[in-house]
Structure 1
Amino acid sequence: MRHSRSLATVPLILSLALSSLAWTPWGAIYESARDERSVGDQAADKKISLSIKTDLADKDSKLALKVHVYCFLKHVYLVGAIDDQPFRAFAVKTAKGVEGVKKVTSYFKPETDTTADDLELSAKVRADLIANGDLSSTQIEQEVMNGEVVLLGMVRSQADAALAVKVAKGVKGVRKVTSFLIPPR
């Protein structure tokens, strides 16, 4: 039974992996236009997150893959399932040391072996966020670790943030939702 389930998730995993490779200039323009941040803020945030990712990879490329770096309005979010406490501390220290960073929030969980289940759950959450007609979900990022969903990004309003949390909580299999969604200031 487990073997057939694993085979069933292979197409899902492949489609998720390939979708991240399908960058086009038109997609970048669309994403930039839909973002609640100014183009200058987007560029500054991208520079910060790339600097952090580079420093983490220079320290330990395998552990760096377990830490996902997000930056919104110079507020850095480090999210991941990683047991290595010294690397967690290094990631936070590194993020705090990058020029322009105003604040660092870390959300680390212990490593688990639920990767396929989490990918499947992530796809379901993403589909439900997109399907909700009252929600502009194009700028909502998500991480799923052992059935716990972390929502990150810029949203149009506090009502959108609350709706995104409600939608994610409504997905079967979601154990907990943590929101780092930022409405306009």
Structure 2
Amino acid sequence: MRRSNQPAPVILILCLALSSLAWTPWGAIYDSARDERSVGDQAADKKISLSIKGGLADKDSKLALKVHVYCFLKHVYLVGAINDQPFRAFAVKTAKGTEGVKQVTSYFKPETDTTADDLELAAKVRAELIGNGDLSSTQIEQEVMNAEVVLLGMVRSQADAALAVKVAKGVKGVKKVTSFLIPPK
């Protein structure tokens, strides 16, 4: 019997399973474990953000894609490049009316034609944040709009928040950095 040069099915299945770890419950467990919030706070925040996203999508699914919803410790952040003023107001009203929300912060910019440049800049900022050995950047989210960086998330300390801003400002092409990073209280 001639032997095939293809990997054994068991090895192939194992490789596929490991390559998709981020999409399994194990990836979710890892994300939860490295978060500064308790599991209960994470669940409450996720419920709030999904409720708001659903409300926005019910109103106008196309415009809803332009508003990014983040929630940390029941504080909602609405970030996006969107020109539609009534939809901006609707997004804020929806967030404020969502059960469990304590505070809403909106950061809207006019739409621009810099999507490709912003994606490239976002990748550079992300690489610098991850590459900085003194910074725990695993929980830092970012949005880039017209070369302006918005940092969001939970960090270990005020020093980490300041360092993240410094690192982002140091990336060539970044015009401005706005931080909504939250250190422990």
Please give the TM-score of this superposition, normalised by the length of structure 2.
Answer: 0.88
- 1:80 partnered with 2:80: yes
In 1, Cα distance between equivalents of 2:136 and 2:31 = 12
- 1:155 partnered with 2:151: no
Q: CA deviation at 1:23?
A: 2.1
Q: CA deviation at 1:165?
A: 0.2
1:47-66 counterparts in 2 under 5 A?
Answer: 47-66=47-66
In 1, Cα distance between equivalents of 2:61 and 2:29 = 30
In 1, Cα distance between equivalents of 2:147 and 2:24 = 31
In 2, Cα distance between equivalents of 1:119 and 1:135 = 22
In 2, Cα distance between equivalents of 1:90 and 1:36 = 30
Q: CA deviation at 1:28?
A: 1.0
Structure 2: runs of 5 or more not aligned: 1-21
What SS class does the counterpart of residue 108 from structure 1 fall into?
Answer: strand
Q: CA deviation at 1:24?
A: 2.3
What SS class does the counterpart of residue 112 from structure 1 fall into?
Answer: coil
In 2, Cα distance between equivalents of 1:23 and 1:86 = 36
In 2, Cα distance between equivalents of 1:97 and 1:23 = 31
Residue 173 of structure 2: aligned partner: 173
Residue 142 of structure 1: aligned partner: 142
In 2, Cα distance between equivalents of 1:52 and 1:70 = 10
Work out which structure has the larger RCO, using CA pairs closer than 8 Å and 6 or more positions apart in sequence.
1
Residue 116 of structure 2: aligned partner: 116
Residue 17 of structure 1: aligned partner: none
In 2, Cα distance between equivalents of 1:99 and 1:80 = 22
Cα RMSD after superposing both structures: 1.0
What SS class does the counterpart of residue 23 from structure 2 fall into?
Answer: coil
Residue 106 of structure 2: aligned partner: 106
* Higher helix content, 1 or 2: 1
Structure 1 runs of 4+ aligned residues shifted over 2 Å read: none
Q: CA deviation at 1:141?
A: 0.2
- 1:67 partnered with 2:48: no
What SS class does the counterpart of residue 55 from structure 2 fall into?
Answer: helix
Please give the TM-score of this superposition, normalised by the length of structure 1.
Answer: 0.88
Percent identity for Structure 1 against Structure 2: 93
Residue 19 of structure 2: aligned partner: none
In 2, Cα distance between equivalents of 1:168 and 1:26 = 30
